[in-house]
Amino acid sequence: MSYPLDDTHDPKLKSWVESANDPATDFPVQNLPFCVADRAEEPGETDPRICVAIGDQLLDLLEVSSAGLLGADDGDIAMALQFETLDDLASLPTDDRRRLRMRLVELLTDKSDDLRSDEELVGVALFPRAGAELLLPFEVRDYTDFYASVYHATNVGSMFRPDNPILPNYKWLPVGYHGRASSIVISGSPVRRPMGQLLPGATIEDGPPAFGPCKLMDYELEVGFYVGRGNELGRSIPIDKAEEHIFGLCLVNDWSARDIQKWEYQPLGPFLAKSFATSVSPFVVPLEALTPYRCRAMERSSDDPRPLPHLTGDMDRETGGIDLKLEVLLASAEMRKKGIDPIRLSSGNLKDMYWTIAQMLTHHSSNGCNMRPGDLLASGTVSGPKRESRGCLLELTWDGDPFANPPVSKPGSARTPLKLPTGEERKFLADGDEVILRGYCERDGFRRVGFGECRGVVLPAGD
């Protein structure tokens, strides 16, 4: 399924929260992404509250619910809003979540006085987003990272297997691995350069590994989605029901230690090269808000196999994909010191992914694996067909191009560094670098809907 267009998507809607009417805002009334903010007033205390973002403000939903503005029949919603994460809210039936969204849009539009007229409540429930401490929106107990971009897979495969970049299974199933949930951190958290085993040369023949700080630190531009309602152990989620189990989307930076990864990933795949940190944005854009930006899934080559029947349904819908524009920016410590704005390194789009979010979720559960509310699934690096759309430095600074016509002749190891405004150069990340991910959807006839930012600064390796 995909959610239908309804009154909440009307581009003519205006909010009495004036900042939400700014055409450049990520958070118009048509969006209302969820987040969790700590509203504690005393040092050492915590008071997490479920909120939605509206313009440059946050709205505390517990305060709104406690005032009786969500309706007498919404007891389950009111109960879910009393918790400190989105887990219980996300697990509610789809109709309940849609009803909550419609009511919140109604309360925040300029045609309704139900909330706006209560000045005392507004003074308590509505507060500035700037300076608010935003927390992880879910208690993430499981995290799976996919490899859903055929462009990314082909680029990386070409570096290490130039004669066979795409393995036979890639176009038959969404490849993924089980990541580490405990090291998921909220945007703005610093990320320490990991330690690990590093080879002194290209292969073990050049000498044994040594233990030390990662030298090839990288980011990965990804989109994540959180599971809402789960499934029972032993029962899979069918492709035509998958989106009913997806609560919303966020931005993900799955930091990677490329030199550690190169040594450890065979035969079982990523381990310590990925588990040291994964950054997520604080705002969860509900799938319902993205209805105007749905599109067909990526068109596959006529030579590619058709997915097996349990993964096929999403390919035949006009709304299998999502037209979500993404970009990566970087600011070195020297740039920030000199007051130089971050520079854009690359831009991509989620619609260029070979596998859709529904296919990823269905495949994950197809063996009977039980998904739970708050489980995080990430797309893998979002890369496109052009060099400027590559979603990590491993690809972006690489001089090879398997999609060039004709292909370039440079060896796969050749790299051209990125030049920063300060004269600095980067093939991989340096200590002090800040990586910023952004995402937004836009389409003629609808309001722009944004995802906020996902930020992280690289700190030097510890002991």
What length is written for the chain? Answer: 463
Selection from 213, 348, 344 nearest residue 276 by Cα:
213
Distance between CA atoms of residues 131 and 56, nearest Å:
11
CA 106 to chain centre: 28
Q: Give the DSSP H/E element, type plus range, for residue 253.
A: strand 246-253
114: left (phi over 0), alpha (psi -120 to 50) or beta: alpha
Which has the closest alpha carbon to 75: 88, 85, 65? 65
What does 17-83 look like in DSSP terms, one character per residue? Answer: SGGGG-TT-S--TTT--EEEEE---STT---EEEEEEETTEEEEHHHHHHTTTT-TT-HHHHHHTTS
**Is 152 one of the annotated active-site residues of the chain?**
yes
Residue 280, helix vs strand vs coil:
strand
- CB-CB contact of 144 with 378 (8 Å): yes
Q: How far apart are CA 173 and CA 196, in angstroms?
A: 31
Task: Classify residue 188 as left (phi > 0), alpha (psi -120 to 50) or beta.
Answer: left
Please name which of 249, 255, 247 lies closest in space to residue 227, comparing C-alpha atoms.
247
Of the CA atoms within 13 Å of residue 202, those in its CB half-sphere come to 4
What are the backbone angles phi and psi of residue 130, rounded to the nearest 5°?
-65, 130
CA distances (Å), origin 39, targets 147, 216, 284, 331, 448 = 37, 39, 19, 30, 29
- Nearest C-alpha neighbor of 438 from the set 449, 447, 422, 427: 449
Kindly give the pairing relationship between strand 221-227 and strand 195-198.
Answer: unpaired
Catalytic residue, chosen from 152, 245, 363, 364, is: 152
Question: Where in the sequence numbering do the catalytic residues fall?
Answer: 152
